[in-house]
């Protein structure tokens, strides 16, 4: 044993941090999907003009 005792409220803080990270990950994924979709639409329009 290391002799360290868990801090009161540590579990709540860890859970809150994990929740924030989950939300940030979802937002990041949504943003990246939107960017990829926009890039795909731009490519499709470029091909229509050439074709």
**Chain segment 1-51, per-residue pLDDT in tens:** 566 666 677 899 999 999 999 999 999 999 999 999 999 888 777 776 665
Residue spans of the domains in the chain: they are 25-51
pLDDT of residue 27: 98
| Angle, vertex CA 10, rays to CA 5 and CA 16, nearest 5 | 165
Please give the Cα distance from 15 to 13 (Å, whole number).
5
Q: What's the whole-model pTM score?
A: 0.61
């Amino acid at each position: 044993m290391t002799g360290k005792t868990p801090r009161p409220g540590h579990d709540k803080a860890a859970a809150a941090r994990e929740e924030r990270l989950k939300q940030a990950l979802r937002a990041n994924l949504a943003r990246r999907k939107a960017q990829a979709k926009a890039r795909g639409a731009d490519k499709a329009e470029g091909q229509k003009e050439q074709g």
